[in-house]
Chain A
Amino acid sequence: MPIKTEPFYLNLGPQHPSTHGVFRLRVQLDGEVIVDVEPIIGYLHRGIEKLAETRTYTQVIPLTDRLDYVASMTNNLAYCLAVEKLAGIKVPERAEYLRIIFSELMRLANHFLAIGAFLNDCGALATPLIYMWREREKIVDLCEMTCGQRLLFNYMRVGGMSQDVPVEFMPALKKFVAEMPKFIGEYEQLIKQNEIFLARTKGVGILPREMAIDIGASGPVLRASGVNWDIRKKDPYSIYDRFDFEVPTGDVGDCYDRFWVRMREMRQSVRILEQAIGQIPAKGTVWADVPQFFRPPAGEAYGHIEAPKGNLGFYVVGDGSIAPYRVHIFPPSLMNVTALRDMAIGWKVADLIIIFGSIDVVLGEIDR
């Protein structure tokens, strides 16, 4: 007589320390092996796209901070690029360099948190996370010095930056950039050859190259699968064509590759920062004088950037009034998290946490 069995369902989340926010996974298990994964999103929905329709173009910028709150300055940049394209505004030279500096600082800050939380999920409890937060704290200090807050910056404006950096910013940034390679070397020494870490991440959660392209993944997830795709190179926005840097890619697309791509990207960010510090004009205005309630012409524009998590796009439709008619946000985390099911099937529950941690999602961006 056959034994009657039925699948076991496990609810991972929404309140779970390793789900990086209010994210719920409905996991179907056969013993400890994952048969199916169903992500359930929407717990952090705040209706930012709808709220943006009732705000003026300037007032949308604080809302975009609340998308990817780990690296919120890049969201400001993507939105401002879209509106500047719509209104035909040219940004001053110094502001362009400040934008580059801050978006690369944000990339560093995001990767510190991403790698630290990923190692925390792997079982390296708190030590690497706290080491990386020490450096993230320095970046946050720099941002606090410039724009007054540590998480939701609201610093960029349509047509430049809201205000110039204080005089003590540049020496501090130079010292930070000069000692950064030493710290990245420390992290590599700490974790790169660790046998437990290698055994748990090498070959786990492989995302093949074709599938990564098909699902529309972007950022380090796509590059770890061996696709050389970076919007900073392929569709240079702002002034990224003036800098010399490489785009690191992985070979197989497993969890280790995603970790290692982020690690090498941090070195490239430091390289861009060094060049930007050398090239930035010492004086000059940082804001093309855009009135507070300006009216871009009716039309539509799409601006996209290489955010730390991938391709972040803003589609802005204007109807000639002071408020946008429609703002659509194309978040990288939402595209990347769709790959989770195909990566996780066949692995065990403990590996699911690692695979999810290696994608590096922020729920503020997925749910909006």
Chain B
Amino acid sequence: MKFERYGMGIAKGMALTLKHLFRPPLTVQYPNEKLVRSKRIRGNELVWFPDRCTGCGTCTKACLQGNIILVTHHGEENKFIVDKFELDSGRCIFCGLCVESCPYDALAMGLEYECAKYRRGDTILDKEKLKLSDKHQPSAYFRPQFYAQLPEQSLLIYDRKEGGQKLTLFPLSKRKRGPGA
């Protein structure tokens, strides 16, 4: 293969890489800096609201993994009382069909995404673990009522001056170095 001026194409490419050298970085230092996730994120660990759940079992029918276990008995005024509501987050594929199908907004996807466990048994979530708590917050996937309380997502499309790439910064004293930081 013959070229008129050998090396011109490589020089053009190198000029572009040189230009990139002076651009601000887009990456963040992950364990210490975190980008804000989407409001609709389908994170790990679902959130279950026991006061809204009527035990109708629509979520168990919608689950394609057959992952949600629901046991009820009849209470006063012929209402269902939920004895057991359990799912295995290790078998869950986080498709969100259960949240989508719930007619009483009793189930929501979680916000968490760092949910690695040491033991396989820890992935099973029972009634207590699924309840709302400080560390266990619902996302706005199919639940628009939570939109207002969640922070804006950081988008790479906007650069930092335009309000994109919002970071959750940890205070310097809490930052760790090394594996598992």
Known: A59-B64, A154-B96, A172-B155. A144 touches B38 (CB 8 A): yes
In the complex, per-residue mask of B1-14: 1 if CB is within 8 Å of any chain A CB, else 0? 10100111110110
Known: A144-B37, A145-B153. A292 touches B62 (CB 8 A): yes
Known: A62-B93, A63-B64, A195-B10. A145 touches B155 (CB 8 A): yes
A147 at the interface (CB under 8 A from B): yes
Interface centre among A138, A148, A176, A196 (most CB of B within 10 A): A148
User: Contacts of A62 on B, CB cut-off 8 Å?
Assistant: 64, 93, 95, 97
A-B pairs with beta carbons under 8 A, tally: 105
Minimum CB distance partner of A193 in chain B = B9
Query: Is A138 touching B12 in the complex (CB atoms < 8 A)?
Result: no
Query: Is A148 touching B8 in the complex (CB atoms < 8 A)?
Result: no
Instruction: Compute how far the CA of A197 lies from the CA of B13 in the bound complex, rounded to whole angstroms.
Output: 11
Give chain A nearest CB distance to B58 CB in angstroms: 8
A246 at the interface (CB under 8 A from B): no
User: Contacts of B26 on A, CB cut-off 8 Å?
Assistant: 134, 137
Query: Is A195 touching B157 in the complex (CB atoms < 8 A)?
Result: no
B16 at the interface (CB under 8 A from A): yes
Query: Is B16 touching A193 in the complex (CB atoms < 8 A)?
Result: no
A10 at the interface (CB under 8 A from B): no
User: Contacts of B93 on A, CB cut-off 8 Å?
Assistant: 62, 152
Size class of the A contact interface (CB-based, 8 Å): 35 or more
User: Contacts of A285 on B, CB cut-off 8 Å?
Assistant: none
- Among B39-47, B74-82, B117-125, B169-177, the stretch that binds chain A is B39-47
Query: Is B64 touching A149 in the complex (CB atoms < 8 A)?
Result: no
Minimum CB distance partner of B42 in chain A = A148
Query: Is A190 touching B109 in the complex (CB atoms < 8 A)?
Result: no
User: Contacts of A103 on B, CB cut-off 8 Å?
Assistant: none
Give chain B nearest CB distance to A125 CB in angstroms: 13
B48 at the interface (CB under 8 A from A): no
In the complex, per-residue mask of A169-204: 1 if CB is within 8 Å of any chain B CB, else 0? 000100110000000001001111111111100110
Give chain A nearest CB distance to B82 CB in angstroms: 21
Query: Is A196 touching B10 in the complex (CB atoms < 8 A)?
Result: yes
User: Contacts of B42 on A, CB cut-off 8 Å?
Assistant: 147-149
Q: For chain B residues 93-126, which have a beta carbon within 8 Å of chain A?
A: 93-97, 100-101, 109
Size class of the B contact interface (CB-based, 8 Å): 35 or more
B142 at the interface (CB under 8 A from A): yes
In the complex, per-residue mask of B139-178: 1 if CB is within 8 Å of any chain A CB, else 0? 1011000000000110111100000000000000000000
Query: Is A138 touching B10 in the complex (CB atoms < 8 A)?
Result: no
User: Contacts of A172 on B, CB cut-off 8 Å?
Assistant: 155, 157-158
Query: Is B139 touching A148 in the complex (CB atoms < 8 A)?
Result: yes
Known: A145-B155, A198-B1. A190 touches B97 (CB 8 A): no
Q: For chain A residues 283-301, which have a beta carbon within 8 Å of chain B?
A: 292-293
Query: Is B9 touching A195 in the complex (CB atoms < 8 A)?
Result: yes
Query: Is A149 touching B158 in the complex (CB atoms < 8 A)?
Result: no
Instruction: Compute how far the CA of A55 lies from the CA of B97 in the bound complex, rounded to whole angstroms.
Output: 13
Query: Is B153 touching A194 in the complex (CB atoms < 8 A)?
Result: no
Interface centre among A62, A127, A197, A203 (most CB of B within 10 A): A62
Query: Is B41 touching A144 in the complex (CB atoms < 8 A)?
Result: yes
Query: Is B142 touching A166 in the complex (CB atoms < 8 A)?
Result: no
A146 at the interface (CB under 8 A from B): yes
A58 at the interface (CB under 8 A from B): yes
Give chain A nearest CB distance to B134 CB in angstroms: 22
User: Contacts of B29 on A, CB cut-off 8 Å?
Assistant: none
B133 at the interface (CB under 8 A from A): no
Minimum CB distance partner of B14 in chain A = A190
Query: Is A148 touching B109 in the complex (CB atoms < 8 A)?
Result: yes
Other-chain residue from A141, A191, A197, A292 in contact with B157 (beta carbon distance below 8 A) = A141
Instruction: Compute how far the CA of A144 lies from the CA of B154 in the bound complex, rounded to whole angstroms.
Output: 11
A163 at the interface (CB under 8 A from B): yes
User: Contacts of A194 on B, CB cut-off 8 Å?
Assistant: 9-10, 13
Query: Is B96 touching A189 in the complex (CB atoms < 8 A)?
Result: no
Give chain B nearest CB distance to A101 CB in angstroms: 15
Give chain B nearest CB distance to A288 CB in angstroms: 16
Interface centre among B62, B93, B100, B157 (most CB of A within 10 A): B157
Query: Is A141 touching B9 in the complex (CB atoms < 8 A)?
Result: no
Query: Is B1 touching A199 in the complex (CB atoms < 8 A)?
Result: yes
The 9 closest A-B pairs by CB, nearest first: A193-B9, A59-B64, A148-B42, A62-B95, A148-B40, A144-B38, A194-B9, A190-B13, A148-B141
22 CB-based A-B contacts, threshold 8 Å: A62-B97, A63-B64, A134-B26, A138-B156, A142-B157, A148-B109, A154-B97, A162-B100, A166-B40, A168-B153, A189-B12, A190-B17, A193-B9, A193-B12, A194-B10, A195-B6, A195-B9, A195-B10, A196-B10, A198-B1, A292-B101, A293-B61
Beyond A56-B64, A142-B157, A193-B13, 15 additional contacts (C-beta under 8 Å) are A55-B64, A62-B64, A131-B20, A134-B26, A138-B155, A148-B38, A152-B93, A154-B95, A163-B142, A190-B16, A191-B13, A193-B12, A196-B10, A198-B1, A292-B62
